[in-house]
Structure 1
Amino acid sequence: MIKAVLFDFDGLLVDTEVISLKIYQEVLSEYGFQFSKEEYSKHYSGKTEVENIQRLINTYHLSLTHQECLNKVLDVEQKLIAQGVELKTGVKPLLQFLKENNFKIALATSSTRERAISILKRHDILHYFDEFVFSEDVNSSKPDPEVFLNACEKLHVSPGKAIVLEDSENGIMAAYNAHIPVICIPDMKKPAKEYLDKALHVYETLNDVIPYLQSFIKEK
């Protein structure tokens, strides 16, 4: 019986993967490099900002410290987010369905609190969430299960009575390692088969989650 739904953020709720691609393209263009969507999807999608910045420095031999590169990334990100970030298809209908049917809802993300809250407020969906776990709330990032286990603890729900919605390989593994069933809605990069095999279902959009969860309503 599912009582709670745990949402990832980037690439699942909001279309920030395309923004991340644009950020790295703009930063690298300063140094004469081109950065393709294929390169982003293969090596950067679903990874933490810390990992990605270090990879940029190492791959392109940038004469920047980690903090200097981070500052550049954050400056560009702030500019692009100010221009607007789109919600992924099906976000509001799913959140409304969950709230109307008394499912507990948590955001469990590698994003920072300030960044995620700001975007959720702009789309007027912050109030749907009962609990939040951000990057600053955990010691280990995905695929470590800490973020999802922390969310279950905050919701007072056992992992077996929750379900995770994710788009990335690391997110799927984090849910799998937490022993929480996971549904994958792929974003820019479709996870490899070995990861998709660990998912309960793979859907095209969040709209597809509603029919699945309807079967649990009478059990609640």
Structure 2
Amino acid sequence: MQAVIFDMDGLLIDSEPFWKQAEYDVFSSVGVEVTTELAALTAAMTTREVTEFWYAKQPWQDASLEEIENRVVERVKLLIETQGQAMHGVRNLLDSLQQAKVKIGLATNSPKDIIPSVLQRLDIADYFMATSSADEVSQGKPAPDVYTLTLKKLNTEAHHCIAFEDSFGGIKAALAAGIKAIAVPHANEFDHKKFDLASHKLKSLSEFSHQIGNALLTQS
């Protein structure tokens, strides 16, 4: 196991409620009726895709899509910087990987501007040798692009790497890039069959061991 790549939202930081809040606040402010049912469909999208989704449903006037997208990002950044909390096991796992001289990367669908806010809020920036956002590639997850870019930045081959993901789309992205994926689903989704696609499944990052990682990489 030469490298590990982490997703960010919902895996390193409990930020998904912030995205939901920002989405509701910003889109409601321009007259969009943000329903729980429709909002559930946007969870795995990039911020631009979310903005385009709501505009297609209920077009607004007097503000560009880019302006609205930026408002969402700024709202999320504020919530992260003032209220963000690490998910269970994050710090201990990063310590363990660093001590074992494993390269550590980050691959997220979130905008590039969000990454420093998260890493600084959790005080974990020094662990990461490379970070990549969907902003930097042509397609976000579930396409493999953001993982492929992170592997390149880490100068690591996919078969030497493991990915941690909390979403089905993220797992598909890692696997499409040739990386063994470990699912860390949220408690209310842990038993969902969609996560059977992953190479392994954990209740939290604290359950991971280097033995698990090495065993996965030796599997055909």
Q: Normalising by the residue count of structure 1, what TM-score does the alignment of the two structures yield?
A: 0.85
* Contact 2:81 2:118 survives alignment (8 Å): no
* Contact 1:44 1:52 survives alignment (8 Å): yes
Match of 1:154 in 2: 153
Match of 2:112 in 1: 113
Q: Which sections of structure 2, spanning at least 5 residues, go unmatched?
A: none
Match of 2:12 in 1: 13
Q: Percent identity between the aligned chains?
A: 29
Match of 1:178 in 2: 177
Match of 1:33 in 2: 33
Change in 2 beyond 3 A, CA 1:191/1:51: farther
* Contact 2:32 2:54 survives alignment (8 Å): no
Match of 1:45 in 2: 43
User: In the TM superposition, what is the alpha-carbon distance from 1:122 to its structure 2 partner?
Assistant: 2.5
Q: Normalising by the residue count of structure 2, what TM-score does the alignment of the two structures yield?
A: 0.85
Letter aligned with residue 179 of structure 2:
I
Cα deviations by residue, 1:160-201 (Å, 9 ceiling, x for unpaired): 110110111221111111121101112487489564122011
User: In the TM superposition, what is the alpha-carbon distance from 1:54 to its structure 2 partner?
Assistant: 1.2
* Contact 2:32 2:58 survives alignment (8 Å): no
Q: Pick from 54, 60, 71: which aligns with 2:52?
A: 54
Letter aligned with residue 99 of structure 2:
E
1:139 aligns with 2:103: no
Cα deviations by residue, 1:103-146 (Å, 9 ceiling, x for unpaired): 11111122233321132022211111122222333222111212
Match of 2:197 in 1: 198
User: In the TM superposition, what is the alpha-carbon distance from 1:8 to its structure 2 partner?
Assistant: 0.8
Count of aligned pairs = 214
Letter aligned with residue 106 of structure 2:
L
1:103 aligns with 2:102: yes
* Contact 2:80 2:117 survives alignment (8 Å): no
Change in 2 beyond 3 A, CA 1:10/1:117: same
Runs of 4 or more, structure 1, over 6 Å off, are: none
SS of residue matched to 2:25: helix
* Contact 2:10 2:16 survives alignment (8 Å): yes
* Contact 1:11 1:167 survives alignment (8 Å): yes
Letter aligned with residue 198 of structure 1:
L
Cα deviations by residue, 1:62-100 (Å, 9 ceiling, x for unpaired): 335312321332342243234221111111011011111
Change in 2 beyond 3 A, CA 1:154/1:32: closer
* 151-160 or 188-197, larger mean C-alpha shift: 188-197
Distance in 1 (alpha carbons) for counterparts of 2:188 and 2:43: 7
* Contact 1:6 1:164 survives alignment (8 Å): yes
* 147-156 or 205-214, larger mean C-alpha shift: 205-214
SS of residue matched to 2:60: coil
* Contact 2:46 2:134 survives alignment (8 Å): no
Letter aligned with residue 46 of structure 2:
T
Change in 2 beyond 3 A, CA 1:148/1:52: same
* Contact 1:131 1:151 survives alignment (8 Å): yes
Higher relative contact order (CA 8 A, sep 6+): 1
* 89-98 or 54-63, larger mean C-alpha shift: 54-63
